[in-house]
A and B are shown apart, each in its own frame.
Chain A
C-alpha cells in the first residue's frame, strides 16, 4: 500500500504513528522500511526503521518539541511556495529519506552492519580521492609521525638536505603539477573547480600529479641517501615535499592566472606539516 500525503499529514497532526489509522500506519511503516532496506548491507530486519526515525532522528529538544518534524513539513510547503504542488509528496519523502539516511549513517545499530573492526593497521590502505595510479593512501600517509622537535640539530640537517632537492625538483615540474602543489600548500581541495580550471587539467590528472611528485621525491631521497633507513628517508621526503609546496606557492603568487587560487577558502589552519 503506497503512502499518501494525507497519511503523512495525519501522522503530523496526531503526533505518534500508533495514534493513526491502521492504513496510515501500514503505509508509512512500509515506505520507511523500503527506504531503510534499499541500501545494500543495511538489511537487518530486527531493526525497526520507524522506531529509529521517531526516537533517534526526530528527537525532541528539552522543551519537548520536535523541530525536525516541523522541518519535514516545512520542506513540502517550500515546494508549494515554488508552485510545485505535484512534488509535495515527493519532497516530503525526500525529507524523510534525508533524515533516515543520517540515522543509518550515524546510529550504532545500523552502522554496525556496514562497519569494520576498529583495530586498523597503520599501513592498511584507506583510499583517498583519485590518487591516480599506484597504491591507495594508508593511515600512515594520512597521519604521519613528526620529527622530534627536541632534536633541533637533526631537523636543521634535514632542512639543509631538503632544500637543494626541492630546488632541483621544482625545475622539473610541469605547470599543472606546480598548481596542484600550490593548492596543497594553501590547504585547498585539489578537486575544487578553480584549481582544475587554473591547472587546465582533469581532476584525476591534478590529483595524480601529487603522487608523481611523491614518487620523484622518494627516488631522489633513495638515490642520495642509499644508506639511510626508510623512516629517515620518509621524513626527509616530507621535508622536501613541504619545501616544494612553498616554492610552488611562491611561483603561483607571481602568475596572474593563479591569482584565483588565493581566493578559495583553504584549510591551511587545519594543516599540519613539516614546514
Chain B
C-alpha cells in the first residue's frame, strides 16, 4: 500500500468518524426533550378584568378616531350675541375653591386652572400631607376597571371615582391641590387600601390578600395596549408644568 493510499484511507476514516459523531450529536439533539412542566392559567378574575378593560379601551380608541371631527363641530363662529354675553359673566358663577382645610383622605376635583394642560376633569385623592408645603395625591382613572396591579377598584358608584391610579401618584404643592373643590372623603378603609397598593408599587411590599382581586391584572407583554393607556394617562408632565408656573 502506497503512502498516499494510506493517507487517503486515514482521511476517509477520520471523515467517517466525524460524520458518525455529528449524527450522534444530531440524534442526541433530536432526543433532547424538556420535562412536562405544569402551566398554571391566569385566574379567571384577571381574565374578566382585562376583557372589561379592553372593552373600554376599544371604545376610547374609537372615540379618539372620531374626536377631531366632533370637536370641529363645537367650534362655531362667535356671534354678536355671544360677545355681549362674554362681558356679562357674573363674578359668582363659579364657587370659590375649597383651599382649606387640605386633609388626608379628601377627594378633590382640580380646577382647570390648577392643571391648564389637561382638558378633562381630574379628581384626586390626598394620600399624604407633609409638614412642608407638599402633599401626595393619587388621580382617579377615567376607566371603570383597573388596568394594572397599581390601580385599585374603589367600589364607588360615581363614574369618575371608580378606580384610583396609584402608579400616577404625584407629589405636588398645597397651592395646586388647593385650587380645587372638595367632593368627598375616601374613608379610612379605602385610604388604607390605597396606601397599601401604593406601597406595593413603590416599596415592593406584598399586597394584602383581600386586595388582590381589587387591582388590575399584571402586564406581561411589551406590546400590551395598556402601555399606550399608561403613557396617555400619565399626569407627571401636567403637574410638573403646573408647579413650574407657580409664582
Of all chain B residues, the one with the shortest Cβ separation from A108 is B144
A106 to B221, CA, bound (A): 26
Instruction: Report B-chain residues with C-beta under 8 Å of the C-beta of A217.
Output: none
Binds B, one of A125-133, A168-176, A255-263: A125-133
Instruction: Report A-chain residues with C-beta under 8 Å of the C-beta of B162.
Output: 106
Contact in complex: B74, A93 (CB < 8 Å): yes
> Which residues between 51 and 80 of chain A lie within 8 Å of chain B, taking CB atoms?
56-57, 59, 61-63, 65, 67-68, 70-71, 73-78, 80
Of all chain A residues, the one with the shortest Cβ separation from B231 is A189
Does A231 sit at the interface, judged by CB under 8 A?
Answer: yes
A175 to B158, CA, bound (A): 48
Instruction: Report B-chain residues with C-beta under 8 Å of the C-beta of A226.
Output: 30
The winner among B33, B119, B227 for most chain A CB atoms within 10 A is: B227
A221 to B42, CA, bound (A): 23
Does B223 sit at the interface, judged by CB under 8 A?
Answer: yes
Smallest distance from the beta carbon of A242 to chain B beta carbons, Å? Answer: 10
Does B41 sit at the interface, judged by CB under 8 A?
Answer: yes
A101 to B62, CA, bound (A): 12
Contact with A along B151-163 (1 / 0, CB 8 A): 0000000111010
Smallest distance from the beta carbon of A228 to chain B beta carbons, Å? Answer: 5
Contact in complex: B46, A143 (CB < 8 Å): yes
Instruction: Report A-chain residues with C-beta under 8 Å of the C-beta of B31.
Output: 227
Contact in complex: B33, A228 (CB < 8 Å): yes
Interface size on A, residues (CB 8 A): 109
Q: Which of A73, A115, A131, A187 contacts B223 (CB 8 A)?
A: A131
Smallest distance from the beta carbon of B203 to chain A beta carbons, Å? Answer: 10
Contact in complex: B224, A137 (CB < 8 Å): yes
Contact in complex: B82, A4 (CB < 8 Å): yes
Given A6-B85, A105-B142, A142 and B220 contact (CB-CB distance below 8 Å):
yes
Chain A residues with CB under 8 Å of chain B are: 2, 4-6, 9, 12-13, 34-35, 38-41, 56-57, 59, 61-63, 65, 67-68, 70-71, 73-78, 80-81, 85-86, 88-90, 93-95, 97-99, 101-107, 111, 114-116, 118, 120, 122, 126-131, 137, 139, 141-148, 151, 153-155, 157-158, 161, 180, 183-184, 187, 189-192, 207, 210-211, 224-229, 231-233, 235-236, 265, 267, 269-273
New A-B contacts (5) at CB < 8 Å, excluding given A269-B167, A273-B220:
A102-B160, A131-B223, A180-B222, A224-B29, A229-B36
